[in-house]
Amino acid sequence: MPDRLSALDASFLYLEESATVMHIGSVMVLEPPPEGFDVEALARSVGARTAYVPRYRQRVRTVPGHLANPVWVDDERFDLDFHVRRTALPRPGTREQLTELVARVQPRRLDRTRPLWEVYLVEGLAGGGLAVITKTHQAMVDGVAAVDLGQVLLDDAPSSGAPPGTTWRPAPEPSLVELVTGALVDAVRRPPQVLETVRAGAGDVRTAVRRASSTATGLLRAASSAAGPQGGPLDVVVGEQRRFAVVDTALEDYRAVRRAVSGAPRRRAGRGAAARDEPVPLVARTDLHDVVLAVLAGALRGWMLSRGLVLAPSAVVRTLVPLSVTAGDLDDGSAPDRGAGGRGGPPPATEVVGHLVDLPVGEPDPVVRLQRVSFGMRAPGEGRRVGARELAGLAGFAPPTLHSLGVRVAGSLSHRVFNLVVTNVPGPQHPLYVGPVRLAASYPVIPLAAGQGLAVGVTSYDGAVSYGLNADRDGLPDLDVLAECVTDALAELVDVTAGPPGGRPR
């Protein structure tokens, strides 16, 4: 019998019928390609690679009467040209034009009668570059049977040769009798699954989601002890249209902040001798992830103030931060590699869990914001996070897949207990390639939850930290202001920690 969707995967399909789209995406900006690299070459590469991930040649088929969750079946009419598409930007091909295209492409629902993914090759970028936009439904990506499409396309070295031929042949689809028989067999083997499936098929999605996610239990228990989010500029009625913005920052700035607050005290920049003589307080056990969240807290604060909002010192934005956890120690990438091929053997087992943290948008001091974020990210019982170097080297857990798994955790929870989802995944600090073309930058596109106007994806890659801001078009018409506030918040944090008085770091 074909593979059956898990309760969580099925819930993503049911949720999409009554809410926003449930697919994750990425925007990969490429350097100018060599002659001969076009949509046909990309399609050949995609076709060859998806042969190793059978899920990308399968579609969803429902079971009559919702007797069981849907199943994955081979698409006998699989059409690669339908999934790999070509488009172009008008001149001059600016970054703003690219993000507007992403905002229009990403919200379109995927065709349920075909495999649930799409790739767009975007030509016409200024300077002769290209971009690749990917869309993958959350039901597909579980880190085991399928990884995110963005991961499938990337290589550690350029590949200019013709991809190997494939010999894939679709298996015949099961008949209605076989689907019903398989559902009855599963009902005998797993009786509790029957009630859950009927409820999900009848539209009680919350019950299916709640029971599907084992990782959500502890987080919901912790959230129940505190008041849920109460309004705010991020709580909007989410429509079908989007805005998308990207922010490029330097990884060295985050490392400089981490070194400054974790080492000897430095003196605060500012006006007057009194301000310069005030020592910068140390922040114990701070890592790069905390610095990113502190920058986002400062950016949200600046954006809210630009709207004329009055922020109390206690104002926070409750944020769900999916984390990869392990029994290993924290590592920001500067320690010796303990991953595959490094000393100490393969990395320990890793899973993605959810963590609630309150971003202190009411706090005016950037260092105190970082202190509060670091403390909040180390609540008892959450375990220790996998190191960045280990994480980037985990087979099957490249950044695109980890973003997808993070969104799966967010999708398994009630969206009433948090205002914002932030996925932050460390990536490799060496060049990656799509075929023969070097990847210049990569930006995650995180789907919006019902009632939440913003989702943030962050990826570090080859010396850069890149933000993808996905927002409801009507709810956040000033998304460009928020993007500028990210850069300003990072500059402020660097200036008051790692920089000399009154200036940028030496």
pLDDT at 332: 41
Residue 228 has pLDDT above 70, yes or no: no
Q: Which among 167, 183, 212 is the end of a domain?
A: 212
Residue 348 has pLDDT above 50, yes or no: no
Q: What is the mean pLDDT of residues 494-499?
A: 83
Same domain, 191 and 277: no
Encoded tokens for 419: 């205002």
Chain segment 258-271, per-residue pLDDT in tens:
988 876 444 555 55
Same domain, 164 and 242: no
User: How many distinct structural domains can be found in the chain?
Assistant: 2
Measured between alpha carbons, how far is 203 from 145 in angstroms, rounded to an integer? 26
Residue 114 has pLDDT above 90, yes or no: yes
Same domain, 166 and 292: no
In a domain, 10, yes or no: yes
Same domain, 177 and 242: no
Q: What is the mean pLDDT of residues 230-259?
A: 90
State percent of the chain over pLDDT 70.
Answer: 67
Buried b / exposed e along 451-483 (16+ C-beta atoms within 10 A): bbbbbbbbbbbbebbbbbbbbbbebbeebeebb
Measured between alpha carbons, how far is 467 from 452 in angstroms, rounded to an integer? 18
Residue 190 neighbours by CB under 8 Å, 6+ apart: none
Question: Which DSSP state fits 267?
Answer: B
Chain segment 380-417, per-residue pLDDT in tens:
444 444 444 444 443 344 555 566 665 665 555 555 67
Same domain, 486 and 398: yes
pLDDT at 217: 41
> Which pLDDT band holds residue 57 (cuts at 50, 70, 90)?
very high
CA atoms 252, 455, 32, 37: torsion sign: positive
What are the start-end ranges of the E strands in 327-483?
A: 351-353, 356-359, 384-385, 420-426, 433-434, 437-445, 454-461, 464-472
At 232, is the secondary structure helix, strand, or coil? coil
pLDDT at 126: 94
Q: What is the mean pLDDT of residues 143-157?
A: 74
In a domain, 96, yes or no: yes
At 147, is the secondary structure helix, strand, or coil? coil
Same domain, 356 and 430: yes
Chain segment 61-76, per-residue pLDDT in tens:
988 777 788 889 999 9
Bond preceding residue 477 cis, omega within 30 of 0:
no
Same domain, 41 and 106: yes
